[in-house]
Chains A and B, each alone.
Chain A
Amino acid sequence: MRDSKSLILLLLAIFSLVLTFVVFYYFFNETDNEKINFALPKAGLAPKDSLSVKYASLLNDLNGVPAASSIESDSANAALFTQLGALYQLKNEITAILKNTNSSTADLEIARQKITELQQRVEQLNNRNDNIELENKRLSALLSKLASNFNIPENMVSAPIAATVTAPVTKVNPEPILNSNAGVLSAYNINLKALDAENGDETNAAAETGKLVGTFVVKNNLSPFNNTEMMVVLVQPNGRVLQPSPWESGTFSTAEGKKIYSCKVKFDYRKGETKQCNFNINADQYQKGNYMLQLYHNGILVGRLVKNLG
């Protein structure tokens, strides 16, 4: 009796298993068929079918494009977001026309035009993506090259300079930009003081400042530099370079193009010497905020400092 009950249970279990297998097999087989029918239409296509093929291939291209909703809608991405929104709207319109079994010839013509437009937009996006990738590669190579020139660790290279610009406090002596390049001097111990216009004491108030006095030390163990020039660039809080007098300011060339300097320090340098350099900047007035001091030698940034005047 007990054996017969067990046998019935075993048969029921086997039956359930077979049934489940059949149901799953049927379900998956049907989905695959649908996919194949959409992607691979039969030969001797009607106009609507040929459009479907074109559309299907476009959808494949679209796979690489992120969904509009996945792009952060900050100001930098606004243009891309708008483009993607338009692209997905176009896609939905075409799908609606192609799915409609009662579509007229005119509808199909509209669909054809829309598919062409979609194709162009996808190509534009792909081109743009390629350009961005190329530019990224170029910038990465440039940063690596600069890092190796200045002996900066990779993690420091990727840190945005803007973060230091907006620092609210005076940052004296940041990490020196050391370099092993024989063609340029390294600058360190960089200091920038604001002196009171009336008594010459140090101040941090823009309204009281009469002049800015800067000092820095230069060194290079590989080369001497005769009659060389260190360009001092003082970027004001408004982003413009401070030019105390047209007789002291000018332009110089860098890898990024021409830059304006506030003043320049001329000197002769003996190989291995530790040389202290000074400069003064006398402006009519000083703005409140962060001043970014940059030192360039032979067109390369060799030192920088942020000074805040309140």
Chain B
Amino acid sequence: MYQQLRKSVLFFSLPLFWAGSLLSQTKSQLKYENSQVYAGIEVGSKGVKMSILEIGKNAKKTGAFNVLKDTAVNTDFISFTPTSFGATVKGFSQLYQVAVNEFAIPPSRIFTMVSSGVKMQAEKDNRVSWIGQLADSFRLRIGDPQRTVDIIDVMGEAKLSHLGIVPESRRYTTFLIDIGSGNTKGGYFPNGNTNTLRLFELTWGTKTINNATVKRCEEDNSITNYNRQLTRVLAGDPNNEIVYAVNASGAYEMSDYIAISGGIAWSVANYISPELIENSVVPVTYADVLAFSERIFKEYETLNADQIIADIKDPLLDKKIIRSELKKVNQVFDQRALMAGTGLLLKIMRQFEGIYEKKQFYLVKNGQVGWISAYVDQQINK
């Protein structure tokens, strides 16, 4: 009985821990002069997510915003059961109260919305009315009947991500790609304005690549076999899909910069450039990522915080922050997951690595909150 209870507690607390680890990039101090603090609370497919951002006066120009708090509560809203509905309403209103009471953010600077993933699933399951009911219950709980709860569609979310992450000066020359766990999506503005975004989508993400590789490994669980099978998986359907999707998007001709976000981009960026741990974006080359991918396979033991910090010569860098961030990466991605994600990242980058024309690649670390900064910007300029 006790063991069963312990298992249940572990079962429910682990996803929360993992979500927290993956998303939390907490920084306690304000970074910019003349900045404002905003909160964005979003109901997503997996649960409710809150991001507290510091947005500087030059955020639009430089793409600089500072994530003060990033947290999530797993409620599984898209299962559309009374339990998940209740948990989502509770999580939604509790996070709102945290923003108001603990971070002293006035309601006018808190933005609440429902993500495109929820809307798509609700339409598929004929549960669109649940979204309205969720918004009403939330308003009732927080005692604010006028509170706006926007529902964002796929195109809107992709546009906002681009606007929030990429600085104004590179808006029309940057192709933004978000590598998720289950899929990859992104886009760019082809016409020199923000009216039209050309969408890009792949059905492969870090987890789907990892799953397909594990499936092929059968009884041989050695890392050598995993590497061999991963090469085969990547060379198959994912490669065909990537080549087709990149060609169809026309992004190669239209973009000078390729910015890649998602969990794998965050982890690779931290490993390759620990010196830039406080930067939201890290420039890399194809050769950098290729060398790193070989290191994961051949020298994974060197990818620990102590060893990486020992190689840093600059005495002015805050090694405490670097250590803490690298430990987080270690917790989120194990060797195989890192190999799968980096393999997919390389396949995508390869499509933009021309012999004569080389694109500048960026790994975006806080992509998951980028769109909220653009949403905030849109709302305050309305």
Contacts and interface: CB of A to CB of B under 8 A. Distances in A.
A251 interface: yes
Interface residues of B, number: 26
Interface string B1-40: 0000000000000000000000000000000110000000
Nearest to A245: B62
A260 B276 contact: yes
A284 B167 contact: no
B224 interface: no
Contacts of A240: 316
B56 interface: yes
Contacts of B273: 250-251
B62 A249 contact: no
Nearest to A240: B316
B275 A251 contact: yes
A243 B279 contact: yes
Interface stretch (B76-84, B237-245, B280-288): B280-288
A284 B276 contact: no
B358 interface: yes
B141 interface: no
B138 interface: no
- Majority secondary structure, B binding face: loop
Nearest to B311: A257
28 contacts: A227-B358, A243-B279, A245-B62, A245-B63, A245-B167, A246-B63, A246-B279, A246-B282, A247-B62, A247-B63, A247-B167, A247-B170, A247-B281, A247-B362, A249-B276, A250-B276, A250-B283, A256-B313, A257-B311, A257-B313, A258-B275, A258-B312, A260-B275, A282-B58, A284-B32, A284-B33, A284-B58, A285-B33
Contact of B276 (A245, A246, A256, A282): A246
B58 A246 contact: no
- Majority secondary structure, A binding face: loop
A227 B33 CA distance: 36
A214 interface: no
B36 to A, nearest CB: 14
Interface string B32-71: 1100000000000000000000001110011110000000
A244 to B, nearest CB: 7
Contacts of B56: 284
Interface in A249-300: 249-251, 256-260, 282, 284-285
Give 6 closest A-B pairs by Cβ, nearest first: A246-B279, A250-B283, A245-B62, A257-B313, A246-B281, A246-B280
Contacts of A282: 58, 61-62
A239 interface: yes
A149 to B, nearest CB: 22
Given A243-B279, A250-B283, A284-B57, 5 more contacts: A246-B62, A247-B62, A249-B283, A256-B313, A285-B33
